[in-house]
A and B are shown apart, each in its own frame.
Chain A
Amino acid sequence: MYLTVSNVTKRFGTFTALDDVSISIEQGEFVCLLGPSGCGKTTLLRLIAGLTDIDSGTVSLENGVLSDLPARKRGFGIVFQSYSLFPSMTVAENIGYGLKIRNAPQEQITARVAELLEIVKLPHLADKFPGQLSGGQQQRIALARAIAVDPRVLLLDEPLSALDAKVRGSLRDEIKQLQRSLEIPTLMVTHDQEEALALADKIICMNHGVVVQAGTPEDLYHRPATRFVADFMGVSNLVPTAVIRQEMPALLAERPDGPDEQFDACIRPEKIQLAADPSGMATVRSVGFLGNLTRYNLDSALGDLVVETHGSLGITEGQKVALQIAPTDCTWVVNDGTEVSE
């Protein structure tokens, strides 16, 4: 384990922001903290950075306990959502600031700044001030500033959220490339599951101040542990055990033991096969065209279902359809009472 957070608890007054949270990051790993707003993910990142005091628990790096160190002595890099470049310094001064504090010689700073400007592909902006840059450029510079000091850990606090969609996509790819080539252990906070899926080696999904599930993106998407994760990681059809037993008992094959209320079936929309069938168990309520995908909303004996197919099946509203679901495509998730969104 490179960076370890053990049993950390943080309260703000009576509100418990983090409740006995433990996570870890391996050398060179890209970890995403994913969760809805207010789940405690930003608080966790700030605790790791040393920007907020811990109530109980520890943060340690390679067995050295960090919790006592103020942020400035931890040697981390951080990128915030926005507004974090120093407005009174040029781009070059911003990037070189950490090295200057470390009393690096001027030639070394100049060389390092030039190198980093090349890396983030903005060498022509060295003498500009932050106010003259676009949002995407500012975040690139903020990234360069964070990695200029060869940080032991790179912390990213929703770095893409303030950008518009197109810039977000390209910067996302760049962050990934950069992290892979520099192999800096990285922790990124995000509420965007697509972003987490695209970037992370490991996703830590949080809700109400606790870690709900940690694992690879594939794990979290295909094998969510709870209704909350299933719903947060994309569209899913969640069906109670009793309904499955009555309508599609074959799907019970993989179900863990436990009372009916304990587990629900989770079936991703692309895992359901549709066929027009006048005696089918479902009726098409609406059809949505999403470009490469077609989305069908069905009324069925299993309840409301969402089905997505590549291309169109030529099925229209009001038609009866038959459903086919493989038992291996049905995962069982803990029923934590989460209401399905949408």
Chain B
Amino acid sequence: MSVAETRATAPKQRWWMDSDKLLAAACILIPLIGLTLFFLYPMVIVFLRSLTTPDGTYGLGNYAEVLSSKGFWRATQHSMTMGVATTVVSVFLGFIIAHGLHRCAFRGKWLIRGVIVLPLLAPSLVQALGLIFLLGRNGLISRAIGIELDIYGFWGLLIANTLYALPQAVMIIGASLVLLDARTYEAAEVMGAKPMRQFRDLTLPAIFFALLNSAFVVFIITITDFGNAAVIGGDYSVLATEIYTQVIGLRNFNMGAVVGIMLLLPTVVSYYIERQSMKRQQGRHATNVQKFIPSFYLNRDIPMAAACFVVVAMILSVIGVVIYASFVKLWPYNHDLTFKHFNITLAGGYASLWITIAISLGAAAGGTVLIFIMALGLRKLSGGIAQAVQVLAAMPAAVPGIVLGLAYILTFNSTATPLYLLYGTATLIAVINFYHYHTQAFLTVMTGFRQFPSALEEAAGTLGAGYGRTAVTVVAPFVAPMLIAVFFFLFMRSMVTLSAVVFLTTAKLDVAAVTIMRLDDAGLTSQAAAFSTCVMAVVCVALGVMKLGLKLLSRSPKLNKAG
């Protein structure tokens, strides 16, 4: 056979013959259609609606109107002020707690670790509710000191937002502190550097990007949060509540869309910067880190411990008082305990709790499967399409829940497309919850996939396993911990989220967080507290099941990775 003949038979273009590649293509295609239909398309619609003037033509009229309104500028100014203030306080406190946990020696860290995540387990408006029970007109503290505090407004919202954002700050900063290698500190110690000097020369530069990162994350959380602002903001209007007012109060969807786009701008910019700084931080990841075990320094550890426990006490009291209030007969006058507030008849009673659990299970199960097959597809595909999918998958995190919710109502409440059939269904709420938290879920699973050695896949392939079989028998068990984490993440978020779903609930279909808001609006604060307690109980059970599942997995010898 001549060289020319041999070359002519070189195979290349027959990829469509290969069932593996077909499967990989399907794995990409299905989630891609989902992202396009349930994320990209609604976002385009909200953008178009913001440009649709009352006479039905496209133009910048709405923007001109919004930009010339005093209310919008006041809300923008409030949002920015609140965002910056919350960021400063949260990053500062987050750093203290993370540093206390990882670089200081004192007892009771388990308590800090446990309490710090509590705000994530409750609907965001629980912080606000708790603050009202403590510092409101009938609050425990207000009554105890006999001064009537005005908690509604800037200060109340600042505290509520800080408590809500703090866990994220602690986690991000903590993750970078864990990566610091003890050996570099030992080297510095041997070279004669004092602790303060080590902190300045080694710790600070190493966690710089984590601090930056956490600042942007907190900023985004704060300016996009709706629950706290709705409950404790009072007259302190922010962009998120402004959208709500435009849409629900004034039925002015197009103006709501304009404000939504305006809220999107700072969020997208912050998100972009955060992703960039995250990449810089990841570049520093070292393998084989020697864990730092702090020893006790009186002057450092006593004040640090005190600061940490003060913050912990604040979180505990804010959330604890909600639970307490739900059992109190007549707040604040009669502190006898009772179950009567749990007998909720208004706003559909507990129906919304059960439906929320069902929605959350659906979002979690469907979402985990979709993300898993998407990651599978991305593993096989490279090049332009794969990159586009990755970018698209990472985008939902930049969209505030309230904007996504608005986009959904504009898209699905329109009879122009068959998508209208979804409007008012629990399915649509499950869908929005999944796409709202798509990015975090996606990134978690991708982290798991990145640790998956390609040799395993290749060994299975060489032994004769097709990609589908490899995915089920080899890949899925390997990334099982990530899948479990994602499942429960989606479940817990769906249980407590308010901003994305607030527009999608109807008279017949309510979800838990909205019910709490309605009860609170109706002045039934004790029942709102009782309902919050139920939601928190469900989420805590879910968290417990997840921890148990992960523990069982990690105990089984299956997960002691080969090596």
Q: Name the CB-closest residue of A to B556.
A: A129
Residues of B within 8 Å of A49, CB to CB, are: 458, 462
Is B70 part of the contact surface with A, judged by Cβ < 8 Å?
A: no
Within 8 A of B (CB), among A8-63: 49-51, 53-58
A83 with B6: in contact, given A71-B458, A71-B462 (CB under 8 Å)?
no
Is A138 part of the contact surface with B, judged by Cβ < 8 Å?
A: yes
**Inter-subunit contact A86/B456 (CB<8 Å):** yes
Is A82 part of the contact surface with B, judged by Cβ < 8 Å?
A: yes
CB distance from B9 to the nearest CB of A (A): 6
Is B249 part of the contact surface with A, judged by Cβ < 8 Å?
A: no
Stretch from A73-81, A237-245, A259-267, A331-339 forming part of the interface with B: A73-81
User: How many Å lie between the Cα of A258 and that of B473 in the bound state?
Assistant: 61
Residues of B within 8 Å of A133, CB to CB, are: 562
Residue from B455, B473, B559 in contact with A131 in the complex, judged by beta carbons closer than 8 Å: B559
Binary contact track A127-167/B, C-beta < 8 Å → 1, others 0: 01111110100100010011001000001000000000000
16 contacts between A and B (CB under 8 A): A57-B10, A70-B461, A71-B458, A71-B462, A77-B462, A78-B458, A84-B562, A86-B460, A87-B478, A87-B562, A88-B474, A88-B477, A88-B478, A131-B563, A132-B557, A145-B463
Residue from A65, A81, A128, A149 in contact with B463 in the complex, judged by beta carbons closer than 8 Å: A149
Binary contact track B320-339/A, C-beta < 8 Å → 1, others 0: 00000000000000000000
Q: Name the CB-closest residue of B to A81.
A: B455
CB distance from A148 to the nearest CB of B (A): 8
A131 with B10: in contact, given A7-B3, A84-B453, A88-B478 (CB under 8 Å)?
no
CB distance from B61 to the nearest CB of A (A): 50
**Inter-subunit contact A84/B464 (CB<8 Å):** no
Residues of A within 8 Å of B285, CB to CB, are: none
CB distance from B450 to the nearest CB of A (A): 14
**Inter-subunit contact B465/A84 (CB<8 Å):** no
A6 with B557: in contact, given A72-B462, A76-B462, A86-B473 (CB under 8 Å)?
no
Residue from B11, B14, B463, B557 in contact with A97 in the complex, judged by beta carbons closer than 8 Å: B463
**Inter-subunit contact B9/A65 (CB<8 Å):** yes
Residue from A67, A70, A78 in contact with B10 in the complex, judged by beta carbons closer than 8 Å: A67
Residue from B465, B473, B562 in contact with A85 in the complex, judged by beta carbons closer than 8 Å: B562
CB distance from A150 to the nearest CB of B (A): 12
**Inter-subunit contact B558/A88 (CB<8 Å):** yes
Identify 5 new A-B residue pairs, CB closer than 8 A, beyond the known A81-B455, A101-B464: A72-B461, A77-B462, A85-B456, A88-B478, A146-B462
Within 8 A of B (CB), among A78-129: 78, 80-89, 97-98, 101-102, 128-129
Is A68 part of the contact surface with B, judged by Cβ < 8 Å?
A: yes
A129 with B463: in contact, given A54-B10, A57-B10, A83-B456 (CB under 8 Å)?
no
A58 with B10: in contact, given A73-B464, A75-B464 (CB under 8 Å)?
yes
Interface size on A, residues (CB 8 A): 50
Residues of A within 8 Å of B557, CB to CB, are: 128-129, 131-132
Q: Name the CB-closest residue of A to B557.
A: A129
Q: Name the CB-closest residue of A to B558.
A: A88
Within 8 A of A (CB), among B516-563: 557-563
**Inter-subunit contact B20/A129 (CB<8 Å):** no
Is B466 part of the contact surface with A, judged by Cβ < 8 Å?
A: yes
Main secondary structure of the interface of B (DSSP, over half): helix
Residues of A within 8 Å of B3, CB to CB, are: 7
Is B7 part of the contact surface with A, judged by Cβ < 8 Å?
A: yes
Interface-centre pick from A67, A71, A146 (highest chain B CB count, 10 A)? A71
Q: Name the CB-closest residue of A to B467.
A: A72
A131 with B558: in contact, given A82-B563, A88-B478 (CB under 8 Å)?
yes
Residue from A56, A72, A146 in contact with B466 in the complex, judged by beta carbons closer than 8 Å: A72
**Inter-subunit contact A74/B462 (CB<8 Å):** yes
**Inter-subunit contact A149/B474 (CB<8 Å):** no
**Inter-subunit contact B7/A72 (CB<8 Å):** no
Residue from A67, A85, A88 in contact with B11 in the complex, judged by beta carbons closer than 8 Å: A67
**Inter-subunit contact B461/A51 (CB<8 Å):** yes
CB distance from A121 to the nearest CB of B (A): 19
Interface pairs A-B: 5 shortest CB-CB: A131-B560, A88-B477, A98-B463, A129-B557, A130-B562
Residues of A within 8 Å of B477, CB to CB, are: 86-89
**Inter-subunit contact A72/B465 (CB<8 Å):** yes
**Inter-subunit contact A7/B560 (CB<8 Å):** no
**Inter-subunit contact B562/A131 (CB<8 Å):** yes
Is B508 part of the contact surface with A, judged by Cβ < 8 Å?
A: no
Q: Name the CB-closest residue of A to B9.
A: A58
**Inter-subunit contact B461/A84 (CB<8 Å):** no
Residue from A70, A97, A130 in contact with B460 in the complex, judged by beta carbons closer than 8 Å: A97
User: How many Å lie between the Cα of A131 and that of B466 in the bound state?
Assistant: 25
Q: Name the CB-closest residue of B to A67.
A: B11
**Inter-subunit contact A53/B461 (CB<8 Å):** no
CB distance from B19 to the nearest CB of A (A): 8
**Inter-subunit contact B561/A98 (CB<8 Å):** no
Residues of B within 8 Å of A50, CB to CB, are: 461-462
Residues of B within 8 Å of A71, CB to CB, are: 458, 461-462
**Inter-subunit contact B458/A98 (CB<8 Å):** no
User: How many Å lie between the Cα of A98 and that of B470 in the bound state?
Assistant: 11
Residue from B18, B20, B562 in contact with A138 in the complex, judged by beta carbons closer than 8 Å: B562
CB distance from A181 to the nearest CB of B (A): 22
Residues of A within 8 Å of B346, CB to CB, are: none
Is B340 part of the contact surface with A, judged by Cβ < 8 Å?
A: no
**Inter-subunit contact A51/B462 (CB<8 Å):** yes
User: How many Å lie between the Cα of A114 and that of B560 in the bound state?
Assistant: 24
**Inter-subunit contact A56/B464 (CB<8 Å):** no
**Inter-subunit contact B14/A68 (CB<8 Å):** yes
Interface-centre pick from A54, A68, A76 (highest chain B CB count, 10 A)? A68
Interface-centre pick from A57, A70, A98, A130 (highest chain B CB count, 10 A)? A70
Residues of B within 8 Å of A101, CB to CB, are: 463-465, 469
Is B12 part of the contact surface with A, judged by Cβ < 8 Å?
A: yes
User: How many Å lie between the Cα of A55 and that of B480 in the bound state?
Assistant: 36
Q: Name the CB-closest residue of B to A83.
A: B453
Within 8 A of A (CB), among B450-506: 453, 455-456, 458-466, 469, 473-474, 477-478, 480
CB distance from A70 to the nearest CB of B (A): 5
CB distance from A256 to the nearest CB of B (A): 28
